[in-house]
Amino acid sequence: MGKLARDAMKEESDFELPISMIDVVFLLLIFFIVTAKFKQIENRLDAHLPKDEGQNLIKAEIEKPDEVRVYLWVPENDPAGVSIGLNTRDEVNIRDINELADKLKSLKASIEQGGLKITVVLDARKNVKFDYVIGALDACYRAEIEDVKFQAPPIPGGGGSDWWYE
């Protein structure tokens, strides 16, 4: 092989990158460390809706002896809070969600003593924060009540609850 050819080959093999591979690798590593988001644990509360189509017409008054209604509304003096009424929406007879769970437990025991199965209907006004509705649902599950229904909003043509509007 001639001297010129050998020199040319040597020039090709002497090609050097402007940045070393370890620097590139470290940059990639830092990028992925910074952008990594670990999966957050999320839980769920099951809430089965009616299986037939449309909203069931549930009257506002209590019809059955095994049915308990939990009313949730926004108090006038605390727009971010909630007032809770058990079987009444005219007065606040439950202090907080924890007390609701205890009261539901004792109600469940007394209803089941009569051989019936308790049903809870959650009736919340439209402006109640979702946090409190979930709290009420959670209180039902803490009281080991599985049959929980939600009061539907007013249906065009009648039915539902007009109390929801207020």
Partner 1 sequence: MGKSNLLTWFREFQEKRRRPMQEAKMNMTPMIDVVFLLIIFFMVVSELVKLDIEPVTLPWASEAKEDSNPPEDRIIVNVKADPTGVDHGTIWVNHKLLSPAEFRTKLHEQKIRSGLDKEGLPKISVKIRGDKDVEWKYIQNVMVACTREQVWRVSFGAKPRETLNY
| Interface positions with partner 1 (CB under 8 A) | 21-22, 25-26, 28-29, 32-33, 35-39, 41-55, 72, 96-98, 124-131, 133-135, 137-138, 141-142, 150, 152-153, 164
Residue closer to partner 1 by CB (options 10, 44) is 44
CB of 5 to partner 1, least distance (A): 32
Residue closer to partner 1 by CB (options 85, 142) is 142
CB of 3 to partner 1, least distance (A): 33
Indicate the residue type of 13.
S
Residue closer to partner 1 by CB (options 44, 64) is 44
Which three-class secondary structure state does DSSP give residue 83? strand
Output DSSP code: residue 74: -
* Dist. CA 75–CA 110, nearest whole Å: 30
CB of 45 to partner 1, least distance (A): 5
HSE value, Cβ hemisphere, 13 Å, CA-based, for 12: 5
What sign results for the dihedral spanned by CA atoms 47, 53, 59, 63?
Answer: negative
